[in-house]
Chains A and B, each alone.
Chain A
Amino acid sequence: SQKIEQNSEALNIQEGKTATLTCNYTNYSPAYLQWYRQDPGRGPVFLLLIRENEKEKRKERLKVTFDTTLKQSLFHITASQPADSATYLCALDIRNNNDMRFGAGTRLTVKP
């Protein structure tokens, strides 16, 4: 069956540490993968997109990797801050036509 799994429902880390979130998928061959941030009561906000031919992409304190052999993406937030506390969602375009599938999300809490 086709699945998108994010490694845990919740992740708690100390301020200043690196947060690493995992997105695994099975039986899809996406051309790209996206990561979104969602705050309580709000809609998701796009963070990063990585294509199948890219191994890594960075944006400020964010880094995403994409391993199509392992069918896995890792999302890193370095020097984490309490303001980074939110739910992070990964999403795949399963037919390369904006037919998107989302993972259930990982709720990150960064403690001061």
Chain B
Amino acid sequence: NAGVTQTPKFQVLKTGQSMTLQCAQDMNHEYMSWYRQDPGMGLRLIHYSVGAGITDQGEVPNGYNVSRSTTEDFPLRLLSAAPSQTSVYFCASSYSQGVQETQYFGPGTRLLVL
């Protein structure tokens, strides 16, 4: 199993540009989530999904969109990038919602917005 994969590893955007961060998992996990990590602030949940077709907002959802059309993929879209979105983004997955399962994290995408 490849686990949780994320692409790209690193991206530079100009303010106002849009992009999609890709996340895929091959463990047949129902639950997937996106976090951002900023220095001194820990991981903050952006959006999460408890299964295909179902998404919900986390702690910091503004400026980001998600969709979950398949179990395997959970892309994160930035429609109009802002410098405040400069961060490291992590995707995670776990087997099921509310079953107190461990989360498996991807390697991260480093995003710089100029």
* Interface size, chain A (Cβ < 8 Å): 26
Task: Name B42's contact: one of A46, A89, A99 (CB within 8 Å).
Answer: A89
Chain A residue nearest in CB terms to B94: A98
Contact with B along A37-57 (1 / 0, CB 8 A): 000011111100101000000
* Interface size, chain B (Cβ < 8 Å): 28
Chain B residue nearest in CB terms to A47: B102
Provide the residues of chain A in CB contact with B92, threshold 8 Å.
43
In chain B between 66 and 114, which residues have their CB closer than 8 angstroms to a CB of chain A? 90, 92, 94, 97-98, 100, 102-108
Main secondary structure of the interface of B (DSSP, over half): strand
Given A43-B90, A43-B108, A104-B41: A99 and B58 interface contact (C-beta under 8 Å) = yes
Task: Name B44's contact: one of A31, A41, A102 (CB within 8 Å).
Answer: A102
Q: Are B40 and A104 in contact (CB under 8 A)?
A: yes
Given A43-B105, A43-B108: A98 and B40 interface contact (C-beta under 8 Å) = no
Shortest CB distance B49–A (Å): 10
Shortest CB distance A59–B (Å): 12
